[in-house]
Amino acid sequence: MKAMQLNGISSFAENRAPLQMVDFPDPEPGEGEVLVKISACGVCHTELDEIEGRTPPPRFPMVLGHQVVGKVVETGKGANRLRSGERVGIGWIYSACGKCGFCMKGDENLCEEFKATGRDANGGYAEYITVLEDFAYNIPDIFSDSEAAPLLCAGAIGYRSLRLTNMKDGQNLGLTGFGASAHLVLKMVKYKYPKSEVFVFARSEKERVFAKELGAVWSGNTEENSPVKLDCIIDTTPVWGPVVEALNNLRSGGRLVINAIRKEDIDREYLLKLDYPSHLWMEKEIKSVANVARRDIREFLDIASRIPIRPEVQEFRLEEANRALVELKERKIRGAKVLKI
């Protein structure tokens, strides 16, 4: 099979083509696994974190990609839930121990043995992938392959972030950054919380205009103050500045949820500006989002199909993966980027 492979950590400033096209034998499904022929794979900011070493794979080479859509073409011994020909999706959660307290409660995202697709096991920038069938999800017929791909991470992690805000209908939500995940959260809020209003902070004028097109009542730069204080804010940016600025816009008792697997160090000096009385006092909260659990993906796919949520997507060929990643790094974003395979 063909795959775009990462051979080591590098910087986009020095290497704008960190992935190399390779060809190796198709994988075979092990016990409890299915072999999936991939048709689409979303491109995520986490891939930038892997390439640049903020959350590197434990070994190289590695095939990245964790928003995977395709059809089952073979089942391994003991795999009896899925059948050949079924369309499935695979997200960031590749496996977990299934035995610890977190797993028993359905919080596999916190399991110490959590493994990630495209980081701890070869992912979806390829023609085929194997995965335990318990970590593959049926895709609702309403979505095309390209539409379904970003739902598996950008959508599911956005859904988990929204749940963690503890938001109630009628409360105001802020979104800091407006990429693949945030634009799906906005669509979700319009459905689940019809009395609520959404305020968007983004550095790009195009992203601010896009947010207004999708129903945001206000959009401004990340350093601007919103016209009203916000009950909760979800930060989806890769840096620290918007986190500190967001705290200025949070009302007393409000919660800031940080939806990022890592933060870049390019503006770490912003943390020195963190002022306890103005930023955190009055029982404001900061909560991180760690990975996703299977429940998040299953529930979000169901909700997305009922709304329905249709992501804005830009399609690239597999061999164009480097170009898609460079555009993501340079913030050339409108919706989600997807590799067609």
Per-residue pLDDT of the chain (341 residues; tens, 9 = 90+): 999 999 999 999 899 999 999 999 999 999 999 999 999 999 999 999 999 999 999 999 999 999 999 999 999 999 999 999 999 999 999 999 999 999 999 999 999 999 999 999 999 999 999 999 999 999 999 999 999 999 999 899 999 999 999 999 999 999 999 887 888 899 999 999 999 999 999 988 989 999 999 999 999 998 999 999 999 999 999 889 889 999 999 999 999 999 988 787 777 888 878 888 888 899 999 999 999 999 999 999 999 999 999 888 999 999 999 999 999 999 887 778 999 99
In angstroms, the Cα distances linking 269 to 69, 134, 244, 264, 280 are 40, 43, 11, 11, 18
Asked if 217 and 201 count as a contact pair (C-beta separation under 8 A), the reply is no
Q: Which of 167, 228, 222, 171 is nearest to 200 (CA)?
A: 222
Asked if 248 and 284 count as a contact pair (C-beta separation under 8 A), the reply is no
Q: Which position has the token pair 């590749």?
A: 94
Residue ranges of domains in the chain? 2-139+311-340, 156-288
Asked if 225 and 249 count as a contact pair (C-beta separation under 8 A), the reply is yes
- 95 contact partners, CB below 8 Å, separation of at least 6: 113, 114, 115, 121, 131, 132, 135
Topology given in CATH for the domain delimited by 2-139+311-340: Quinone Oxidoreductase; Chain A, domain 1 (3.90.180)
Topology given in CATH for the domain delimited by 156-288: Rossmann fold (3.40.50)
CB burial string 147-172: b at 16+ within 10 A, e below: bbbbbbbbbbbbbbbbebbebeeebb
Main-chain phi, psi angles of 4, to 5 degrees: -95, 115
Q: pTM to 2 decimals?
A: 0.91
d(CA 150, CA 180) in angstroms, rounded, equals 7
Common-topology check for domains 2-139+311-340 and 156-288: no
User: Residue 121 corresponds to which tokens in the numbers above?
Assistant: 């096991």
Maximum C-alpha span of the chain: 59
